[in-house]
Structure 1
């Protein structure tokens, strides 16, 4: 029973059990080393988060080439001799680059139909929202924020975005947080995949003797709760800034002794059926009874007594922050029915789990072996470059046991003396081969082929088809990781739209939120020559359209920024096709549209009539008088005989 009981204590399987092989991370009770991870075992950190925070620190040490330094803190006295050459960091950067692709584009379904003849109001609205979101992404430097969050997610397993409305910038702002500061409150009966109703961001602030500040804990809390009566900023009896309920106001004609109704925030209304306060949000069809409250509080660590954690810190000695506009951040109503926080897991979490897994998880032991082999190779290269030499026979330089070996040095040996050098180059060659094997093993386990790491000679790839087959594991890896992100980024863009509506931005007046998504670009290296030949053959055989051909070239990495503009340029120079179109249809307008030219002929200009001179006018009047027969009143034009006589005369 003792052995079985001991085995139960040693066996611990959770989201971070891949680190159990490290003594510094997991002792006999499965808990991290206190000297190496003191912040993970702070009094306010929940017990279920200790291993998570310790795992983040250990993974960050691998990323920063400090795993040996951390191992030394845990008691490994020889850890400092270990070589770390940045292999974990390279793996993280490679995976992140492939997940994000060459570019990231915000798209709204239906926006591509805007501008054509069949476009309707829905397509116009989708195109407008897409343009507004892209403008916001440029203003907020979204590609840079993506890099920050994705590197956290790939290296640590989790990333966190936090959104807020900035009245000075008049737009939503996005910030990236370290997942070690993120503490969602997930109940025992709740599914880890569900969105939490309460989220904390908490961290310790060090002591600042110059400013007279003690060590503190800062906690920012978002919580979904029922809509309460309106509150205002004030102070309590101790002089602390707090929020207090506003006094109610009796309506006109109220009876004496009648209690005033609860004060309501502008836009709220009291439901007479259930007595609850409801609010009509701009993005909902039905009224909602829920809102999000924000609290920003700070505690002195010395004031925290007893068994408490981040979710149950006492409120007796707390200090609430005050916003720039004077609002106290003590359950401040944000006028939102959602928590503006997006947790980004690196992988699809297991069933009923909340956390993702680092891309280093499966290859950590290989990376340790690689660091050990690099250390041995470094030592072997020292003996190869400066070999060990053995000398026998009496030397005239003295009786020293050890002699210095240097270029140009001459030793005089006695009778029968000699020398020999110990050759370790073969050992060095074997160690280097072993390092290459470990690199291949790490690439296979991480599902990143050598061609994706850039370590394969391009001349050794037989064909583009063989290259595509070698990228099969990477395709599966990236597809799975992007699946874990699709819903998260769609949720983030939905929150951005709702924050704009809540902030009443004038450009968003009358806008209906649309299901936007973040589309990642291509990531695999391609054989451009092979793609170009395929496109040329397909176009010549007329088995693919010009639109498909341009898209294939664009996906292959050709410098085509706008596919529609590229198609217009190609058609404007395709005179043979334009001639064939003219022969087939006889429509000059269609040919002009194809070439992007105006081929409709201009109308014939009217004849220019110059003003008559006085002499011309006199001749005209005389001719008119001669043409008129005064006796009969008949003109020569109507009398051929008279006309003939006039001509004869």
Structure 2
């Protein structure tokens, strides 16, 4: 009967916009030509169009996209940056005031004999990771990724080992370039085994370059024999190929077994299955998988047929060459993981891969807000320059134009009337305020977090804390979506250091590390200090927990472990209790961070030797006692 099907998917909340969903349910081709490129998979067209539309809202350019459908009048719409303000506020809240890398157990170094070695290793890994974060500008990378994640719903980190810098590099990539390969039977929540980054390069007439398509691919696959940089059969294109076979030895016997395939140093072939195994520094057992990197470019005009980003032909591809001469054509990276971390803004639904933008639920409110702002701007023009009605002009040849110092000559029955539109302007402003409150409620950003609430309007600190309840649940959910991804990122950093054989990481065992984000709401430092001051001496909370509470509350504590050592170095009363309990000067000195003094050993008592035939020793004089009595 020609009934229209209603599709509900990850971006169907944009279906209300005609520019996004046409009669066929697809984005407008004139508004989103990038999403309609021949190499873009059909399932990614809506996602790329949604990213562009959300970016337009963030940059106050939504009216330019609406012009494609609504005409030139759409360009008159006012956009005052409300979506961008919401994004900036959410980014600041989800990041917190500061971010620290913490390895559990690093703050309890030497507290127990059986855990001294693991705690020392945790302390070492924490120090190395913090040094890497400082060198790699991790806070800035987090800020870049969170801006994309909150606004678009997804963020992507890409990592690589840099031989020149001798450390893993971390870069943020726009999610519009990210194309994971998720099969029909695959779980979208699981880690994909093949990931593409693809984008178009425009034509460069000055350099004589045609429009091109570049694709970088990471793929987990079975370990293959060793390949080296070479050229194809035509000798014009760099590729990877098997190394040349060694020349046969004429003196060798004809019955000698043929040599096997060339292997990467350290690889072994399983005799039973013939599979190639490799022992990685971070695994206890050998692995049969590795990650391959391919960086290729195609001329778009040469691509024909029904193809997409995952099925581009090998013919016609030009492979990039790394600075060390390695051709990036299925280059073995010597790691068993894909160094790419996708960060969703929200916890994805079951078996889904993508997150949702923080603007999604309130986007219609922002459209209404832009329309009300436009009406308010027009009404303010008529209020500032009121409309006049003039009747009974004495000189009909006079041209009437209102302006400062203008005098109208009216007849006996003349009349001058001004049309007052200030009441309409006040109603529009009230409507704008209501729409802003509605948007805040939908996004779960209370007025106190946006900075639009005066402190004098808050009746008490408890009332302010209650008003922040929706924000607490929102930030808790957003941080939950990022927690596992950040642990994965720090795990990849450790593995890349081990794969790069950095001298500082020799003998280091990878540890579970996490990124701790600071508070995002005002905290009562005096209350936290009272809790710690009363809880630590009474044994309700440990000293480590108390110092962490102080650091989270905003006290200037840069290193929790060093702060604990400074506190213990002055706890002489606790050291006296420890000496009474253990009787071990070395333990007490270690607690205070000092060296135990060297105590001289008392000499043994030497009693005088008395001859057995001495009569004075056998019969002491009257009034004297024997040696036992003196003792």
The normalised TM-score by structure 1 is 0.84
Alignment of 1:464-543 (within 5 A): 464-528=461-525
Which residue is equivalent to 2:16?
Answer: 21
Alignment of 1:156-171 (within 5 A): 156-171=152-167
CA deviation digits over 1:233-283, x for unaligned, max 9?
111122210111124558997753743211111111111111111111111
Distance 1:545 1:507, change over 3 A: closer
SS in 1 for 2:155: strand
How far is the alpha carbon of 1:316 from its aligned partner?
1.3
2:176 is the counterpart of 1:180: yes
Q: Is the 8 A contact 2:57 2:83 kept in 1?
A: yes
How far is the alpha carbon of 1:195 from its aligned partner?
0.8
Which residue is equivalent to 2:615?
Answer: none
SS in 1 for 2:428: helix
Which residue is equivalent to 1:437?
Answer: 434
The count of residues paired between Structure 1 and Structure 2 equals: 591
Of 439-448 and 254-263, the range deviating more from structure 2: 254-263
Distance 1:150 1:399, change over 3 A: same
Q: Is the 8 A contact 2:27 2:49 kept in 1?
A: yes
Distance 1:565 1:376, change over 3 A: same
Alignment of 1:366-405 (within 5 A): 366-396=365-395, 398-400=397-399, 403-405=400-402
Which residue is equivalent to 1:31?
Answer: 26
Alignment of 1:579-590 (within 5 A): none
Tell me the distance in 1 between the aligned counterparts of 2:540 and 2:163. 55
CA deviation digits over 1:327-358, x for unaligned, max 9?
11111111111111111111111111111100
Q: Is the 8 A contact 2:446 2:467 kept in 1?
A: yes
Which residue is equivalent to 2:417?
Answer: 420
Q: Is the 8 A contact 1:397 1:412 kept in 2?
A: no
CA deviation digits over 1:576-612, x for unaligned, max 9?
x99x999x99x9x99x9999899x9999xxxxxxxxx
The structure with the greater share of residues assigned to helix is 1
Tell me the distance in 2 between the aligned counterparts of 1:346 and 1:57. 17
Distance 1:319 1:570, change over 3 A: closer
Among residues 399, 409, 414, which one is paired with 2:406 in the alignment? 409
Distance 1:23 1:236, change over 3 A: same
Tell me the distance in 2 between the aligned counterparts of 1:112 and 1:541. 21
Q: Is the 8 A contact 1:243 1:330 kept in 2?
A: yes
The gaps in structure 1 that reach 5 residues or longer are 604-649
How far is the alpha carbon of 1:556 from its aligned partner?
3.5
Q: Is the 8 A contact 2:571 2:592 kept in 1?
A: no
2:131 is the counterpart of 1:132: no
Tell me the distance in 2 between the aligned counterparts of 1:534 and 1:287. 50
CA deviation digits over 1:161-191, x for unaligned, max 9?
1111111111111111000100011111101
CA deviation digits over 1:344-381, x for unaligned, max 9?
11111111111110001000000001111111111111
**RMSD over aligned Cα, in angstroms?**
3.1
Which residue is equivalent to 1:631?
Answer: none
Distance 1:377 1:75, change over 3 A: closer
Tell me the distance in 2 between the aligned counterparts of 1:224 and 1:545. 45
How far is the alpha carbon of 1:153 from its aligned partner?
0.6
SS in 1 for 2:418: strand
Which residue is equivalent to 1:285?
Answer: 284
Q: Is the 8 A contact 1:373 1:435 kept in 2?
A: yes
Q: Is the 8 A contact 1:247 1:263 kept in 2?
A: no
Of 270-279 and 242-251, the range deviating more from structure 2: 242-251
Tell me the distance in 1 between the aligned counterparts of 2:380 and 2:472. 39
CA deviation digits over 1:64-89, x for unaligned, max 9?
00000111133432111100011111
SS in 2 for 1:98: helix
Which residue is equivalent to 1:96?
Answer: 91
Tell me the distance in 1 between the aligned counterparts of 2:417 and 2:297. 72
How far is the alpha carbon of 1:122 from its aligned partner?
0.3
Tell me the distance in 2 between the aligned counterparts of 1:138 and 1:72. 45
2:11 is the counterpart of 1:12: no
SS in 2 for 1:426: helix
Tell me the distance in 2 between the aligned counterparts of 1:538 and 1:322. 61
CA deviation digits over 1:438-477, x for unaligned, max 9?
1110011001111111111111112221111111111111
Which residue is equivalent to 2:300?
Answer: 301
Distance 1:541 1:245, change over 3 A: closer
Which residue is equivalent to 1:454?
Answer: 451
Among residues 55, 58, 64, which one is paired with 1:69 in the alignment? 64
Distance 1:539 1:431, change over 3 A: farther
SS in 2 for 1:393: strand
Tell me the distance in 2 between the aligned counterparts of 1:384 and 1:283. 72
Which residue is equivalent to 1:645?
Answer: none
CA deviation digits over 1:200-253, x for unaligned, max 9?
100000000110000000000111111111111111122210111124558997
Which residue is equivalent to 1:312?
Answer: 311
Q: Is the 8 A contact 1:573 1:595 kept in 2?
A: no
Larger Rg: 1
Which residue is equivalent to 1:638?
Answer: none
The normalised TM-score by structure 2 is 0.87
Q: Is the 8 A contact 1:464 1:530 kept in 2?
A: no
Q: Is the 8 A contact 2:230 2:239 kept in 1?
A: yes
Alignment of 1:172-321 (within 5 A): 172-238=168-234, 239-248=236-245, 255-256=254-255, 258-321=257-320
